[in-house]
């Protein structure tokens, strides 16, 4: 009788574990496909939480300090941004990194870099990019996934570690934005940035 109770208990426990394991596996395999609206919402969350607008959105200045200019959301460094004559002693490795007043361009030992226009403007933003170009750029650190290096302080090494689904969501959100025509200045190597004394 005792053996029968143990056998019965083991059978029940084994059956329970098998059913639970199978149910868990099936729910993991039946991952619901995200709708386009879900992708855009997820992308907006990732862009906001990741602080992309800190560098990619021009600022307006108020008595409380700089605030994002929502009319130019994620449109990058304004085309009028100028950098020249910086004292290179300030930005040597281990020293400072300088930012422009609107926090969309940075100067460091690499030269001057300007935050890209991430809006879907076809001429000046990512409007002509496809999803794979975007993913490749963030995975390789190369503009369009094959061009010039993406310069500091853009943290492409970290951003590129997102899953494909998250990068696709970010791209979907960026493509949903209002296009803003803004030709961001080109990267400037050190010899064009620093004052020569």
* For the chain, percent of residues with pLDDT exceeding 90: 64
In this prediction, residue 21 carries a pLDDT of 54
The secondary structure of the chain, three-state, reads: CHHHHHHHHHHHHHHHHHHHHHHHHHHHHCCCCCCHHHHHHHHHHHHHHCCHHHHHCCEEEECCEEEECHHHCCCCCCCCCCCCCECCCCCCCCCCCEECCCCCEEEECCEEEECCCCCCCCCCCCCCCCHHHHHHHHHHCEHHHCCCECCCCCCHHHHCCCCHHHHHHHHHHHHHCCCCCCCCCCCECHHHHECCC
Mean pLDDT within 24-32:
55
Higher-scoring residue by pLDDT: 92, 27: 92
Higher-scoring residue by pLDDT: 60, 94: 60
* For the chain, percent of residues with pLDDT exceeding 70: 83
In this prediction, residue 10 carries a pLDDT of 43
Instruction: Please tell me the pTM assigned to this model.
Output: 0.80
In this prediction, residue 107 carries a pLDDT of 94
Higher-scoring residue by pLDDT: 187, 147: 187
pLDDT at 74 over 60: yes
- Find the range with the poorest average confidence among 17-21, 62-66, 86-90: 17-21
pLDDT at 1 over 90: no
pLDDT at 19 over 50: no
pLDDT at 130 over 50: yes
Higher-scoring residue by pLDDT: 14, 112: 112
Mean pLDDT of the chain: 86
In this prediction, residue 15 carries a pLDDT of 47
Structural domain boundaries in the chain: 1-31, 35-193
Residues 155-166: tens digit of each pLDDT: 999 999 999 999
pLDDT at 48 over 60: yes
């Amino acid at each position: 009788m005792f053996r029968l109770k143990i056998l019965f208990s083991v059978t029940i426990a084994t059956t329970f574990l098998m059913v639970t394991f199978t149910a868990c596996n099936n729910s993991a395999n039946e991952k619901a496909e995200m709708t386009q609206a879900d992708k855009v919402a997820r992308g907006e969350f990732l862009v906001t939480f990741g602080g992309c607008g800190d560098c990619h959105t021009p600022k307006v200045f108020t008595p409380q300090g700089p605030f994002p200019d929502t009319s130019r959301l994620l449109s990058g460094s304004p085309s009028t941004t100028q950098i020249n004559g910086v004292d290179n002693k300030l930005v040597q490795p281990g020293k400072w990194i300088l930012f422009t007043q609107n926090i969309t361009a940075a100067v460091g030992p690499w030269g001057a870099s300007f935050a890209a226009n991430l809006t879907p403007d076809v001429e000046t933003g990512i409007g002509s990019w496809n999803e794979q170009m975007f993913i490749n750029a963030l995975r390789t650190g190369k503009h369009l996934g094959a061009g010039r290096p993406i310069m500091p302080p853009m943290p492409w090494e970290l951003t590129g570690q997102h899953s494909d689904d998250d990068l696709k969501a970010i791209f979907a959100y960026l493509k949903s934005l209002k296009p803003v025509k803004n030709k961001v200045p080109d990267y400037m190597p050190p010899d064009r940035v620093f004052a020569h004394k």
